[in-house]
């Protein structure tokens, strides 16, 4: 039986989330084995090389980029560098599932930021979902409790940077290929942390560390590839909710590899954030359909 475009898109999105989460697990396992900037630079060499081959095969380098998009890509690069630093610093110091659960707030933060910055209309239903979702985030980080520390704040800062990155991405024109944007970002992140690593003492990379860096680079490349293919194959409104499968992978890998299992309040918070995000995505899909059919907002 032939798969529909939406089902193929959903499978690709789930594959993308699995790849990104396995990459996170590889990187977390490297905490303390080598300096952060060195790890990011070495992973970046492999990821950039693989993404470059993909971009070359899709003739992405031959595209003519509008000047406005160049500035947007530069903004996206800065946001990606900030996101990488704060996310991985948090990842090295807190459970994988907890950090992944906080990141599930992204659809909420992007929707809210787009309403504030771009004056995109947002109804009371989605605003309510956003507020409910943020209470879920508070249950995960629990400020003022013994488990709350600076790395919980790092996780929230990484969400802010990823939100900015996604806002820049949303403003890009269709004339700029997705793989070219991904390649430009990967090169810039690699170079930024390569330069930063000059101020750190490099450590030798034995085989045990080396294969995990290679694994991380391969997984992050697969994650990017699958996510691009997913958005091209299926409807965004149908495919996007499958991003939340990353939380399932984070729970499995966090327990199997690191022996971490979130507290009940964290799980409740994650469920609230996920439900709020899914409702927001569903509502946006309904509004898009209404607009196509000539209905009001």
Domain ranges of the chain: 5-292
- Among 16, 39, 64, which Cα is nearest to 212's? 39
State residue 296's pLDDT score.
45
pLDDT over 70, % of the chain: 96
What gap in Å lies between CA 186 and CA 189, rounded to an integer? 5
Which residue is listed with tokens 């798969």? 3
Confidence of residue 285 (pLDDT cuts 50, 70, 90): confident
The predicted-structure confidence for 35-93, as pLDDT tens digits, reads as follows: 999 999 999 999 999 999 989 998 889 988 999 999 999 999 999 999 999 999 999 99
Let me know: does 268 contact 235? Beta carbons within 8 Å: no
The average pLDDT across 96-118 equals 91
- Report how far Cα 276 is from the mean position of its chain's Cα atoms: 18
Tell me the three state secondary structure of residue 257: helix
The average pLDDT across 188-196 equals 96
Residue 252: pLDDT over 50? yes
The predicted-structure confidence for 145-156, as pLDDT tens digits, reads as follows: 666 789 999 999
């Amino acid at each position: 039986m032939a798969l529909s475009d939406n089902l193929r898109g959903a499978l690709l999105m789930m594959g993308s989330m699995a790849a990104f989460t396995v990459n996170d697990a590889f990187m977390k396992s490297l905490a303390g084995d080598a300096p952060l900037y060195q790890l990011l630079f070495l992973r970046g060499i492999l990821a950039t090389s693989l993404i470059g081959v993909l971009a070359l095969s899709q003739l992405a380098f031959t595209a003519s980029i509008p000047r406005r998009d160049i500035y947007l890509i530069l903004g996206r690069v800065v946001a990606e560098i900030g996101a990488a630093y704060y996310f991985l610093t948090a990842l090295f110091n807190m459970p994988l599932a907890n950090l992944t659960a906080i990141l599930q707030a992204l659809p909420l933060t992007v929707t809210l930021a787009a309403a504030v910055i771009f004056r995109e209309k947002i109804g009371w239903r989605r605003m309510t979902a956003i507020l409910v979702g943020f209470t879920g985030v508070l249950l995960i980080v629990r400020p003022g409790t013994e488990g709350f520390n600076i790395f919980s704040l790092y996780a929230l800062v990484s969400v802010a940077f990823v939100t900015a990155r996604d806002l820049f991405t949303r403003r890009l024109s269709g004339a700029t290929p997705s793989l070219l944007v991904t390649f430009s970002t990967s090169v810039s992140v690699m170079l930024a942390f390569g330069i930063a690593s000059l101020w750190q003492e490099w450590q030798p990379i034995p085989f045990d560390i080396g294969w995990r860096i290679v694994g991380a680079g391969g997984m992050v490349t697969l994650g990017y590839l699958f996510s691009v293919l997913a958005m091209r194959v299926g409807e965004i409104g149908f495919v996007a909710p499958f991003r939340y499968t990353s939380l399932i992978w984070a729970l499995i890998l966090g327990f199997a590899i690191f022996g971490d299992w979130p507290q009940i309040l964290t799980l409740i918070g994650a469920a609230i954030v996920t439900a709020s995000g899914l409702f927001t995505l569903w509502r946006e899909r309904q509004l898009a359909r209404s607009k196509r059919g000539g209905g009001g907002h």
